[in-house]
């Protein structure tokens, strides 16, 4: 008799969260080396597409290694574990990178924000006030915390959506 495979929502989410975190680091390094604007729309779309792909792959893994089924709630749970683990990994890397490798990155982000506000026609007083407010949230530690919280929040939203399409209900009624 074949032994039943055991995969849980947490094990699938953690497994693919590790993969997602490592891929996120690789993408971050590539974007840094090539000088891409990490706040651009293209980067945001690419990041979301990678996130969605990993949620899909984690759901597929869960179904393939389990009993072939996955409820909507299990799909959301897998996505949350994935986003938490991936968010921690990528945020810790970003913290280390900004704190110890390239501390000029924070200034580049602030300069870009100032430029964008000038382009929108904001007054110098408005820009100075906005920059002062932004500076409170632009420390490596703040970015670490917001990175994790943001990853989990975005992961929840994407998991809610992806799970609609990847769920597979068991209709056998225990037979």
| pLDDT confidence of residue 139 | 82
| pLDDT confidence of residue 1 | 42
C-alpha to C-alpha distance for 75 and 71, rounded to whole angstroms:
6
Assess contact for 50 and 22: CB atoms under 8 A: no
| pLDDT confidence of residue 35 | 82
What is the mean pLDDT, run by run of 10 residues, along the chain of 175 residues?
Answer: 72 98 94 83 91 98 95 98 98 93 82 88 89 82 93 97 94 65
The pTM score is 0.86
């Amino acid at each position: 008799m074949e032994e039943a495979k055991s995969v849980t929502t947490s094990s699938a989410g953690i497994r693919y969260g590790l993969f997602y975190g490592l891929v996120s680091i690789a993408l971050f390094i590539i974007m840094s080396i090539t000088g891409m604007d990490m706040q651009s729309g293209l980067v945001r779309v690419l990041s979301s597409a990678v996130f969605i792909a990993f949620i899909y792959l984690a759901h597929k893994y869960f179904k393939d290694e389990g009993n072939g089924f996955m409820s909507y709630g299990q799909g959301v749970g897998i996505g949350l574990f994935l986003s938490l683990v991936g968010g921690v990994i990528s945020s810790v890397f970003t913290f280390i990178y900004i704190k110890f490798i390239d501390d000029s990155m924070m200034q580049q982000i602030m300069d870009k924000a100032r430029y964008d506000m000038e382009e929108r026609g904001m007054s110098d007083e408005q820009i100075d006030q906005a920059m002062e407010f932004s500076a409170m949230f632009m420390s490596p530690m703040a970015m670490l915390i917001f990175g994790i919280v943001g990853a989990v929040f975005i992961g929840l939203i994407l998991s809610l959506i992806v799970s609609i399409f990847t769920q597979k209900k068991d209709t056998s009624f225990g037979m």
